[in-house]
Amino acid sequence: MAREARKRSNTGIYHVMLRGIDKRDIFLDDEDRKKFIENVIRAKEAGGFEIYGYCLMDNHIHMLIKEDEEIGISIKRITVGYIGWHNNKYERTGHLFQNRYKSEPVETENYLITVLRYIHQNPVKARIIDKLENYNWSSHKEYLLTYQGHSSFINTELIKSYFRTAEDFISYMNVQNSDECLEYKPVKKYNDDTFKKIIHKKYNINDLNKLSVEERNKLIKNIYNETDISIRQLSRILGIGKTIVERAVKKDD
């Protein structure tokens, strides 16, 4: 099955979400987060794109970007340097980010400010903090600083044109809502025995070895996508090689 083509934005503005591969954490400490922001700033200077908002969570990232060219080029500029630095720091190899990042076009003014609010509210909805201003790793703080006359690598002028004062901005950003923009579902972590019960209830895996390669891969991919299980854990539970599971999961992504 061919992958679905990305929708191109008529405004050039995109909401982008990057996730850690196999649900792994992208950031393990504040030094990691600072390094990622440094990479965003360097990529912005090199590529000339504009960034209207961001939020760094442990295992995923939201960004609101305006790009006149191919959005994938800017994402690559942002991530490549960080991956090398992260792998060197933690003595690991291979991919850090999920191969296919998510993106959606932002075509209207109303959706633009809705997406920014959604991005800023991520840590609150995840119950990491109780107030937006208490989170150090989103653009919410950047906006408040620019209302006080400070400069920022975030392009704040467009959003601020909708909110005359900091109070107006804060009021809108704190409105309770049920918005879902490229919604990220938190990972549910279970031990092997619990996952075995969940999988046996929903899938017939007793005859896994009797299936054709295509049928087996489809079943493995369905289990992976629908249960939030890691590749390594799924390999253990199914009793098949990690490489086989990886190939099935990544096939046609």
Q: Does the pLDDT value for residue 10 go beyond 80? A: yes
pLDDT of residue 208: 81
CATH topology of domain 13-173: Alpha-Beta Plaits (3.30.70)
Whole-angstrom CA distances from 234 to 54, 231, 237 are 32, 5, 5
Average pLDDT over residues 203-223: 83
Whole-angstrom CA distances from 29 to 75, 79, 94, 201 are 22, 17, 20, 38
Q: Residue 67 half-sphere exposure, CB side, CA atoms within 13 Å?
A: 24
Joined together, the tokens standing for residue 245 give 């599971």
Percent of residues, the chain, with pLDDT higher than 70: 93
Q: Are 66 and 112 in contact (CB under 8 A)?
A: no
pLDDT of residue 188: 55
* pLDDT tens digits, one per residue of 233-245: 888 888 888 888 8
pLDDT of residue 2: 41
Percent of residues, the chain, with pLDDT higher than 90: 51
**Mean model confidence pLDDT for the chain:** 87
Give the model's confidence band at 108: pLDDT under 50 very low, under 70 low, under 90 confident, else very high: very high
Give the model's confidence band at 182: pLDDT under 50 very low, under 70 low, under 90 confident, else very high: confident
Q: Which residues touch 63 (CB under 8 Å, ≥6 apart)? A: 15, 16, 17, 18, 40, 51, 53, 54, 119
Joined together, the tokens standing for residue 108 give 């209207």
Put simply, whether the predicted model's pTM sits higher than 0.75 gets the answer: no
pLDDT of residue 123: 94
